[in-house]
């Protein structure tokens, strides 16, 4: 039987009928067509997605895939909600948070049998059900650093405590080196949030791992002292000149390039950065706590979610499961995006020292949730994550301190329907 795959290469925009950027060719008789929403990054290129899709359709030639591309990685969750609102929810969506979609009965809940091959089959439940395949663990963020710039500033080892981190930042600045590279420009506002995410993990979740569960019940507030202190540390780093404000004009790819070009010593980023080839030696450490305890914000999920009302639901489920469990797909994902695959029996290909160091950091510390990345009952209310990133931009710009940002976040929480 001839193998067929329908691919689209342009970014998707909303339209009154079929989404722009998708191929409207009709599948051959007897074949099942599904749409697949993906997103592109410097690591996850159009070629990556096309080849990964083809590996699945080669095994299941009765499935035809219409690839759809979100406008940006940071906008993919909001974009999926736009498609739902316009009656165009795709059949399968990769790494889209189910919160805000599943509650209305729009997503397929995976069965225990379908989840049996996963290391952490019950990650991120919503109402006791699993809507997203939990196939990839991602520490978010760790701190990747330029060993050459550290050495030039007289820093011989990564910091173990927050006080040591601040001291190292002062040494780097005194040498004329920007301590922290951040982003947040254009459509990639999320790139402004990693310092805040790191601080919430180290200072809030380490003490109250169920903080967002309590926030949903109205038992805690963002304006409580614990959260404000963590946020004020972010503002203090900015006030001391340790954060490169030029990052607010950089999109995500440009932010990564700035670090690779040596425009800063430390780069708080998710574990996927470990796949990048740098022109200098890169080290990695977990964001330090005051006490020196190692805390690693991490998230296991990232797999497909499936439209419960898909016209070809069986094909959509089959495609999603095979896309995640295909060994060749996972090998490529490890090499291209430094994925830490959470599937039983999977053995990753040989990787470089930065990936191996990332694994060691993950294993060395206390695992907590990754702020803004949660997708289950302990996640932010729908839409609030985008407000976090906007507030992070305000902090980097010097327009908000910890208390003001926390109060604003409480206000956004209430607007989103929370207590």
What tens-digit pLDDT sequence spans the chain (419 residues)?
333 333 333 333 333 333 434 443 455 668 999 999 999 999 999 999 999 999 999 999 999 999 999 999 989 999 999 999 999 999 999 999 998 899 899 999 999 999 999 999 999 999 999 999 999 999 999 999 999 999 999 999 999 999 999 999 999 999 999 999 999 998 899 999 999 999 999 999 999 999 999 999 999 999 999 999 999 999 999 999 999 999 999 999 999 999 999 999 999 999 999 999 999 999 999 999 999 999 999 999 999 999 999 999 999 999 999 999 999 999 999 999 999 999 999 999 999 999 999 999 999 999 999 999 998 889 999 899 999 999 999 999 999 999 999 999 999 999 999 99
Tell me if 372 sits within 8 A of 222, measured CB to CB. no
Gap between the Cα atoms of 259 and 198, Å rounded: 18
CA 193 to chain centre: 11
Q: Return the domain boundaries, the chain.
A: 32-138+300-353, 142-269+380-415
Residue with tokens 């795959």: 5
Tokens, residue 381? 């209310």
250: left (phi over 0), alpha (psi -120 to 50) or beta: beta
Gap between the Cα atoms of 54 and 65, Å rounded: 9
Cis peptide bond upstream of 141, omega within 30: yes
Terminal-residue alpha carbon distance, the chain: 57
Tell me if 306 sits within 8 A of 32, measured CB to CB. no
Q: Is-same-fold flag (32-138+300-353; 142-269+380-415)?
A: yes
Q: Tell me the C-alpha to C-alpha distance, in Å, between residue 389 and each of 75, 97, 194, 257, 377.
A: 12, 16, 9, 20, 21
| CATH 3.40.140.10 applies to domain 142-269+380-415 | no
CA quadruple 324, 328, 333, 336: dihedral, nearest 10:
-170
Residue with tokens 């990133």: 389
3-class SS at 378? coil
The DSSP 8-state label assigned to residue 201 in this structure reads I
Tokens, residue 30? 């007897």
Spatial CA neighbour of 252 closest among 63, 67, 64, 73: 73
List the CATH code of the domain at 32-138+300-353.
3.40.190.10
Cα angle 155, 159, 197 (rounded to 5 degrees) comes to 130
């Amino acid at each position: 039987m001839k193998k067929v795959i329908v691919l689209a290469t342009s970014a998707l925009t909303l339209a009154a009928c079929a989404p722009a950027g998708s191929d409207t060719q009709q599948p051959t008789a007897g074949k099942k067509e599904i749409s697949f929403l993906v997103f592109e990054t410097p690591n996850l290129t159009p070629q990556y997605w096309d080849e990964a899709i083809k590996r699945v359709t080669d095994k299941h030639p009765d499935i035809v895939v219409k690839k759809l591309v979100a406008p940006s990685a940071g906008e993919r969750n909001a974009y999926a909600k736009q498609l739902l609102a316009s009656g165009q929810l795709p059949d399968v969506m990769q790494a889209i948070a189910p919160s805000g979609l599943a509650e209305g009965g729009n997503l397929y809940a995976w069965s225990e049998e379908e989840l049996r091959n996963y290391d952490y089959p019950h990650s991120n439940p919503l109402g006791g059900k699993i809507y997203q395949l939990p196939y990839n663990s991602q520490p978010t963020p760790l701190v990747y650093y330029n060993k050459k710039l550290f050495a030039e500033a007289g820093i011989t080892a990564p910091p173990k405590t927050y006080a040591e981190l601040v001291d190292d930042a002062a040494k780097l600045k005194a040498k004329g080196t920007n301590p922290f590279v951040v982003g947040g420009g254009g459509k990639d506002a999320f790139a402004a949030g990693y310092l805040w995410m790191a601080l919430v993990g180290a200072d809030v979740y380490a003490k109250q791992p169920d903080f967002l569960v309590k926030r949903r019940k109205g038992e805690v507030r963002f304006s409580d002292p614990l959260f404000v202190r963590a946020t004020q540390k972010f503002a203090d780093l900015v006030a001391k000149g340790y954060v490169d404000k030029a990052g607010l004009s950089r999109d995500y790819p440009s932010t990564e390039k700035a670090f690779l070009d040596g425009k800063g010593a430390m780069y708080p980023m998710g574990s996927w950065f470990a796949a990048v080839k740098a022109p200098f030696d890169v080290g990695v450490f977990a964001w330090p706590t005051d006490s020196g305890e190692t805390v690693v914000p991490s998230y296991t999920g990232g797999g497909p979610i499936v439209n419960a009302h898909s016209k070809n639901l069986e094909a959509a489920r089959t495609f999603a499961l095979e896309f995640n469990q295909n060994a060749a797909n996972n090998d490529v994902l490890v090499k291209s995006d430094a994925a830490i695959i959470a599937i039983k029996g999977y053995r990753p290909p040989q990787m470089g020292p930065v990936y191996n160091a990332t694994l060691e950091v993950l294993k060395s510390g206390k695992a907590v949730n990754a702020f803004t990345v949660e997708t289950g009952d302990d996640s932010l209310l729908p839409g609030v994550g985008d407000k976090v990133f906007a507030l992070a931009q305000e902090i980097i710009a010097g327009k908000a301190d910890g208390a003001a940002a926390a109060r604003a976040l409480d206000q956004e929480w209430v607007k989103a329907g929370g207590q």
